[in-house]
């Protein structure tokens, strides 16, 4: 029995009666005694450590006179932060990381510790070394259990025995070497009941080029029910709260206070001392994605990608300078709201948001040449009646268009405009756009599937160039809501494959 260690739930501490186990031992001068099960007593001769492996040692083990057993204390193992697992065929002791310390094997009517099966970090297989399946799993380079069992049943490899699948097998080396992110099951139903109930939001940026209005970032907000979009352009992320604050108050006013919450990532622009009290005062639940898990905020992540792709394409078509990227994204947002259908409902976002079908007859090709009527008191009778311009989108809060006036180099809103969609603008200021800009990303962090979940970007103002055009008098903030009919052939947005998120 001197080579066997017994698990004892009634033992107050680890103890043994054999000196040879100790790697270090300190004699005790106190008169401490241990009472045995037969009411006999043994004196504590010393306390020391027993080195089990290069990765683990039993500490504070008592050397007890006349003790004929080696006892492991349950309570002392738990105090040291270890975990004792009992399961038929694979009982064991593991540390806080799940790394095997030792196995526990039946020994008559009690359990003994098997230190011979101790493994180092990342080498534990919860199947027992006696398992034939686990043995061949390791021999064949940690081939998956399912494939290994199937392969053995085919009889195509000599020397490989027939193997049976075992339950609850967990290979720690496989977890460390092969673990990947879980997939997120598609949502096949509408999770909210009315527009404005839940808003998803995300920021994009910084841009590679400062916009004509001096902006670097985009705040994208998506309504969960209708998939209606709002975009706001920011000079810094500190402005996020004010735009969200104003939009929520306006929507609550329009919907008679019917709003449940908002959903965002863990970025500091959303998770801060301004949002928390505001959501509490308004009775809103602020939901967050798990850190570095964009699929949980997948609605707005994919909308970001759709808007950026549309904007980049529109800029490239007529070689429009990149400083007009904000106008392109604003136009893309306006178009998306009017044409994309909400999955599982079959109506446009515009109709779900406002209760009427959208109208698209007023839409024009972004970046095309246009002519803006001159107005004023001191116009010469023989001067030109109009300014040359470039169409850059739709007015925010009026029935009009946004045009870059090439004569004054200002962004203006007007309804007195004539379009020539057949040709691009050939003014030298637009011809300066080089071929190297075509197809290039608009934003520094632009990717197919954004993965960053809340990091702070460096201030882009430091990289501003001297070729910047003077800022126009208007500031682009959000999409325009113009009146409404929609062709039944209009497509569903390609980003309408949605994913489950916690708390939706």
pLDDT score of 116: 59
Q: What is the mean pLDDT of residues 316-333?
A: 90
Among 176-180, 216-220, 224-228, the minimum mean pLDDT is found in: 176-180
Q: Which pLDDT does position 430 carry in this prediction?
A: 54
The predicted-structure confidence for 123-141, as pLDDT tens digits, reads as follows 344 433 447 888 888 888 9
What is the per-residue pLDDT for 232? 95
CB 92 within 8 A of CB 103: yes
Residue 34 phi, psi dihedral angles, 5° rounding: -110, 130
Q: What is the pLDDT of residue 233?
A: 94
**Higher-confidence position of 322 and 107:** 322
Nearest to 278 by CA among 253, 242, 251: 242
Tokens in use for 487? 């062709």
5-117: CATH architecture: Beta Barrel (2.40)
DSSP class of 117: G
- What is the distance between the alpha carbons of residues 39 and 46, in angstroms, rounded to a whole number? 21
Among 87, 115, 88, CA closest to 103: 115
pLDDT value for 485: 38
Q: What integer best gives the mean pLDDT of the chain? A: 78
Return the residue matching tokens 């673990």: 179
Is 316 exposed, middle or buried (CB count within 10 Å of its CB: 0-12, 13-18, 19+)?
A: middle
Q: Is the pLDDT of residue 486 over 60?
A: no
The predicted pLDDT at position 115 comes to 67
Highest mean pLDDT among 67-71, 113-117, 490-494: 67-71
Q: 484 or 421, which is more confident?
A: 421
What is the H or E stretch that residue 222 is in?
strand 217-223
Task: Compare 278 and 19 and report the one with higher pLDDT.
Answer: 278
With cut-offs at 50, 70 and 90, classify the pLDDT of residue 501.
very low
Residue 216's pLDDT band, with cuts at 50, 70 and 90, is very high
- Identical topology for domains 5-117 and 198-359+435-463: no
The CA distances from residue 450 to 202, 210, 218, 237, 298, in Å, are: 11, 21, 14, 17, 10
Integer Cα distance of 343 and 207 in angstroms: 31
pLDDT computed for residue 444 by the predictor: 64
The pLDDT tens digits of the residues spanning 394-426 come to 988 888 999 998 888 888 888 988 988 886 665
Cα angle vertex 17, ends 14, 19, to 5°? 100
Every domain of the chain and the residues it spans: 5-117, 132-178, 198-359+435-463
Give CATH for domain 198-359+435-463. Answer: 3.30.420.10
């Amino acid at each position: 029995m001197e080579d066997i260690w017994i698990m004892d739930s009634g033992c107050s501490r680890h103890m043994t009666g054999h000196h040879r186990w100790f790697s270090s031992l300190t004699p005790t001068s106190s008169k401490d005694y241990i009472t045995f099960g037969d009411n006999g007593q043994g004196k504590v001769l010393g306390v020391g450590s027993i080195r089990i492996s290069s990765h683990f040692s039993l500490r504070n083990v008592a050397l007890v006179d006349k003790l004929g057993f080696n006892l492991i204390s349950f309570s002392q193992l738990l105090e040291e932060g270890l975990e004792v697992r009992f399961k038929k065929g694979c009982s064991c002791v593991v540390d806080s990381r799940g790394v095997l310390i030792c196995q526990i094997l039946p020994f008559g009517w009690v359990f003994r510790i098997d230190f011979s099966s101790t493994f180092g970090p990342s080498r534990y297989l919860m199947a027992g070394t006696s398992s034939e399946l686990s043995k061949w799993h390791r021999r064949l380079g940690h081939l998956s259990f399912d494939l290994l069992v199937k392969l053995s049943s085919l009889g195509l490899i000599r020397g490989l025995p027939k193997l049976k699948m075992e339950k609850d097998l967990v290979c720690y080396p496989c977890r460390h070497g092969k673990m990947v992110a879980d997939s997120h099951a598609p949502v096949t139903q509408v999770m909210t009941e009315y527009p404005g109930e839940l808003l998803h939001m995300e920021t994009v940026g910084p841009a590679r080029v400062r916009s004509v209005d001096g902006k670097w970032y985009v705040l994208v907000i998506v309504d969960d029910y209708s998939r209606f979009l709002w975009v706001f352009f920011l000079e810094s992320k500190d402005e996020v709260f004010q735009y969200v604050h104003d939009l929520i108050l306006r929507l609550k006013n329009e919907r008679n206070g019917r709003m449940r919450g908002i959903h965002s990532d863990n970025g500091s622009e959303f998770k801060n001392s301004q949002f928390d009290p505001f959501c509490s005062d308004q009775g809103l639940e602020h939901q967050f994605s798990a850190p570095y898990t964009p699929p949980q905020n997948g609605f707005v992540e994919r909308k970001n990608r759709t808007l950026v792709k549309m904007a980049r394409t529109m800029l490239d078509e007529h070689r429009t300078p990149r400083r007009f990227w904000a106008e392109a994204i604003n136009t893309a947002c306006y178009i998306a709201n009017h044409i994309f259908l909400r999955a599982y409902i079959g109506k446009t976002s515009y109709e779900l948001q406002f209760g009427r079908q959208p109208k698209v007859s007023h839409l024009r090709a972004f970046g095309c040449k246009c002519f803006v009527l001159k107005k004023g008191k001191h116009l010469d009778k023989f001067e030109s009646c109009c300014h040359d311009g470039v169409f850059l989108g739709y007015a925010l809060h009026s029935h009009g268009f946004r045009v870059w006036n090439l004569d004054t180099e200002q962004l203006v809103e007007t309804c007195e405009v004539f379009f020539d969609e057949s040709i691009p603008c050939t003014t030298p200021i637009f011809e300066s756009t080089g071929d190297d800009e075509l197809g290039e990303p608009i934003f520094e962090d632009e990717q197919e599937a954004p993965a960053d979940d809340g990091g702070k970007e460096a201030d882009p103002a430091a990289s501003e160039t001297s070729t910047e055009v003077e800022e126009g008098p208007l500031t682009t903030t959000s999409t325009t809501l113009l009146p409404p009919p929609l062709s039944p052939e209009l497509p569903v947005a390609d980003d309408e494959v949605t994913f489950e998120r916690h708390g939706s």
